[in-house]
Amino acid sequence: MDFPSEQNYIEQLSIDCVIFGYHQKQLKVLVPKLNFNGDFYALPSGFVIQDEDIDAAADRILRGRTGIQDTYIDQFHVFGKAGRSNETFLDKLLELNKDTLGEKGMNKKQYDWITKRFVSIGYYALVDINKVIPKKIAIDASIDWYDVRELPPMIMDHNEIVAKALDHLRINIDDKLIAFKLLSETFTMKEIQELYETVFNKPFARNNFQKKILDLNVLDRLEKKFTGAANKAPFLYRLRG
Amino acid sequence: MDFPSEQNYIEQLSIDCVIFGYHQKQLKVLVPKLNFNGDFYALPSGFVIQDEDIDAAADRILRGRTGIQDTYIDQFHVFGKAGRSNETFLDKLLELNKDTLGEKGMNKKQYDWITKRFVSIGYYALVDINKVIPKKIAIDASIDWYDVRELPPMIMDHNEIVAKALDHLRINIDDKLIAFKLLSETFTMKEIQELYETVFNKPFARNNFQKKILDLNVLDRLEKKFTGAANKAPFLYRLRG
């Protein structure tokens, strides 16, 4: 979350990004910790500039924390309950940081702007975790990948936003071929299956799974992976470009 | 679209509703025509009151034009291009209605409010067309059902909004069992098939289709439909409650 100042943003509208990565049978989410007393974790978030498309705003937020711009990112749900506001969280943050904030660090006008009710558009992005070097922005103390099943408690409804994003990832995984965005450019069939098993948190039968994936008819089979044991080496695949 | 006055709405945020009905092999959309010179057609739309959930706002807009409240309605996409504004349409409307509007009919402050850039949350609803008596609100000259393939040109991006809603209807038709919301409480297998064929605009093989629907395992088979020719009468079905 930026703290808006001179920037001309649309009021009461925010964007929250769930950035998924995958590594060693763990589906991970990129979560910054805010640079204030109080252990506040918050999804990468931001606002929409008046002359900016909402998709461009989401790209900007993703790029700001990952450096990545060419990957899958899409809106998945709008969070718009009437009581949805930063106020409780910000009151607590100010209380725990009154020595350094208050009159000086956050002026009254910014505070009014940001404690209104916010409707938030949820976006989810899928990145190749090897290509991302997580970047802190000014308000971050740290930014790290967390297993989706072991996320820290986050501010507001951010944990629910991740749960809803995971639902959408599961629903769209085949139709939009988005799973492959979580892998490196080339991968073995076993690696795809492990990814699916991680996303759905259940095992799949090897033969059925392999048939299903090959029936999607979207992969090119490449050379065998170099493992040292040539005759047992698995084939590498790549998403047809 | 309401023209906002004293009501305390969230600025620059609107809701557009695509209300689908089905009748005699036609998928229809409920479209009001505005009560001004110039043949302006616009989806049922509105704004979000400050203390109102966005879903409640969509329900309110649906209820206002149909009287219906217990049916399938869900958000499907946010339309948020930077250039998305009522300004061109409203300038044209004012030009064509300057004798009756202008200083008197629409005050300057309302006009400023409504010509800003708007981010719009698209909702789609599925109704049993037999239960709806379309209702005009103050700004409507008429409100009618139009075949989705023969819609009048609508203001702004409203035709695109319908196209996107139709995409979502097709994607979700089985998972969410929403097709049945377009039918009366009881229906024959032939009626379901005709509905699917209309929604997808293509024929389905009878045996496969019937198997697929029965495999969903969500229907109760009732008595035979009374047709006068008892031995050829088809069974009636109902969505399991």
Q: Is there a domain that residue B204 lies in?
A: yes
pLDDT at B1: 45
Q: Which residues of B touch A54 (CB under 8 A)?
A: 78, 80-81, 119
B82/A53 CB distance under 8 A: yes
A54 and A165 share one domain: yes
Assess contact for A22 and A198: CB atoms under 8 A: yes
A22 and A89 share one domain: yes
- Is the Cβ of B164 closer than 8 Å to some Cβ of chain A? no
Q: Is there a domain that residue A2 lies in?
A: no
Q: Tell me the sheet residues that pair with A74.
A: A124
Secondary structure E strands in chain B = 9-23, 26-34, 45-49, 72-79, 119-126, 140-147, 186-188, 219-224, 235-239
A63 and A131 share one domain: yes
- The span from the CA of B83 to the CA of A51, in Å, is 7
A124 and A33 share one domain: yes
B119/A50 CB distance under 8 A: no
A205 and A166 share one domain: no
Q: Which residue of chain B has the CA closest to A171?
A: B175
Domain of B215: which CATH number? 1.10.10.10
**Coil vs helix vs strand at A6:** coil
Q: What is the mean pLDDT of chain A?
A: 91
B82/A52 CB distance under 8 A: yes
Residue at a domain's end among B114, B140, B172: B172
Q: Is there a domain that residue B4 lies in?
A: no
Q: What is the ipTM of this complex?
A: 0.91
A158 and A189 share one domain: no
- Give A224 to chain B, closest Cα distance, Å: 37
Q: Is there a domain that residue A164 lies in?
A: yes
Domain of B135: which CATH number? 3.90.79.10
Q: Which residues of B touch A81 (CB under 8 A)?
A: 53-54
Q: Is there a domain that residue A87 lies in?
A: yes
pLDDT at B233: 86
pLDDT at B149: 96
Q: Is there a domain that residue B3 lies in?
A: no
Q: Which domain holds residue B39?
A: 9-172
> Looking at the 3D structure of chain A, how many domains does it have?
2
Q: Which residues of A touch B51 (CB under 8 A)?
A: 82
The per-residue pLDDT for range A68-109, each reduced to its tens digit, is 988 999 999 999 999 999 989 998 998 898 888 765 556 667
Checking if the pLDDT of A5 tops 90, the result is: no
- The span from the CA of B114 to the CA of B94, in Å, is 13
- Give B140 to chain A, closest Cα distance, Å: 28
Residue-by-residue pLDDT tens, chain B, 241 positions: 445 555 799 999 999 999 999 999 999 999 999 999 999 999 999 999 999 999 999 999 999 999 998 899 999 999 999 999 998 999 899 889 888 876 555 666 777 889 999 999 999 999 999 999 999 999 999 999 999 999 999 999 999 999 999 999 998 888 778 899 999 999 999 999 999 999 999 999 999 999 999 999 999 999 887 777 666 789 999 998 7
Q: How much of chain A, in percent, has pLDDT values that exceed 70? A: 93
The per-residue pLDDT for range B83-103, each reduced to its tens digit, is 999 989 998 998 898 888 765
Q: Which of B10, B53, B77 sits opposite A81 (nearest CB)?
A: B53
The per-residue pLDDT for range A46-59, each reduced to its tens digit, is 999 999 999 999 99
A39 and A75 share one domain: yes
| CB contact set of B159 (below 8 Å; sequence gap of 6+) | B151, B153
A117/B171 CB distance under 8 A: no
Closest CA to B132 of B57, B68, B43, B220: B68
Burial A102-119 (b: 16+ CB within 10 A, else e): eeeebeeeebeebeebbb
B126 and B71 share one domain: yes
Q: Which of B48, B81, B175 sits opposite A53 (nearest CB)?
A: B81
Q: Is there a domain that residue A177 lies in?
A: no
Q: Which residue of chain A has the CA closest to B122?
A: A78
CA distances from A1 to A47, A77, A132, B17 (A): 8, 18, 20, 31
Q: Which residues of A touch B87 (CB under 8 A)?
A: none
- Is the Cβ of B157 closer than 8 Å to some Cβ of chain A? no
Max Cα distance, chain A (Å): 70
Q: How much of chain A, in percent, has pLDDT values that exceed 90? A: 75
pLDDT at B165: 98
B89 and B56 share one domain: yes
Residue A157, phi then psi, degrees to nearest 5: -100, 25
Checking if the pLDDT of A205 tops 90, the result is: yes
B76 and B195 share one domain: no
A228 and A110 share one domain: no
**Coil vs helix vs strand at A150:** helix
- The number of CA neighbours under 13 Å toward the Cβ of A155 is 24
B125 and B59 share one domain: yes
Residue at a domain's end among A147, A172, A197: A172
B71-75: long-range contacts, CB 8 A cutoff, minimum separation 24: B71/B125, B71/B126, B71/B127, B71/B128, B71/B181, B72/B125, B72/B126, B72/B176, B72/B178, B72/B181, B73/B17, B73/B123, B73/B124, B73/B125, B73/B126, B74/B123, B74/B124, B75/A77, B75/A78, B75/B121, B75/B122, B75/B123
Q: Is there a domain that residue A22 lies in?
A: yes
Residue at a domain's end among B138, B172, B206: B172
Q: Which of residues 165-204 of B touch A (CB under 8 A)?
A: 171, 175
